[in-house]
Amino acid sequence: MGGKYYISPDEDRGGVWEFTPDQVTRTIHSLWPQPQPIPLDTSPSSGIFDFDVQVNGESCELTYFADEQFFVIPDQDPLELPFRVVYSVLTTLAPSVPAVWMADFDGAVHSVDLSIGVENLLTRFHT
């Protein structure tokens, strides 16, 4: 534990996200209604938005860096949960934009094919 995962548009393949932080917030709310307001601890002037999302009684944390267009997920258990949130947001807001993810502890870049569906993307995280 302690590493971070990064998800961003695949700039090498022309990927650019056109959505706003407000759209991310509204999408999360529509997919997982929250008892508490999100995003939490936002810094709109810096373009950094922290989220604590409740999914089926479990909590996950993630951060969206709007100006640089990437999500950061701290290593957490279960890891499937925050990836489900990010992939669901991307499938809703940018389904045709190529994306990639990487972990800071190995640096390997992995393509994300949103067209295969969230459940198929999450198979690598099933334990």
112 within 8 A of 121, measured Cβ to Cβ? yes
Helix (H) or strand (E) holding 120: helix 118-121
Tell me what percent of the residues of the chain surpass a pLDDT of 90.
47
- What value, to the nearest 5°, has the Cα angle with vertex 126 and ends 96 and 75? 80
Higher pLDDT, 53 or 119: 53
Residue 125 has pLDDT above 50, yes or no: yes
What stretches of 56-117 adopt beta strand conformation (E)? 58-65, 70-74, 99-103, 109-112
Mean pLDDT for the stretch of residues 79-84 = 88
What is the rounded average pLDDT of the residues 61-81? 91
pLDDT over threshold 60, residue 37: no
Q: Is the per-residue pLDDT at 27 higher than 80?
A: yes
pLDDT of 88: 93
* Range with lowest mean pLDDT among 28-32, 66-70, 85-89, 115-119: 115-119
Position with higher pLDDT, 80 vs 36: 80
If phi > 0 it is left, if psi is from -120 to 50 it is alpha, else beta; for residue 2 that is left
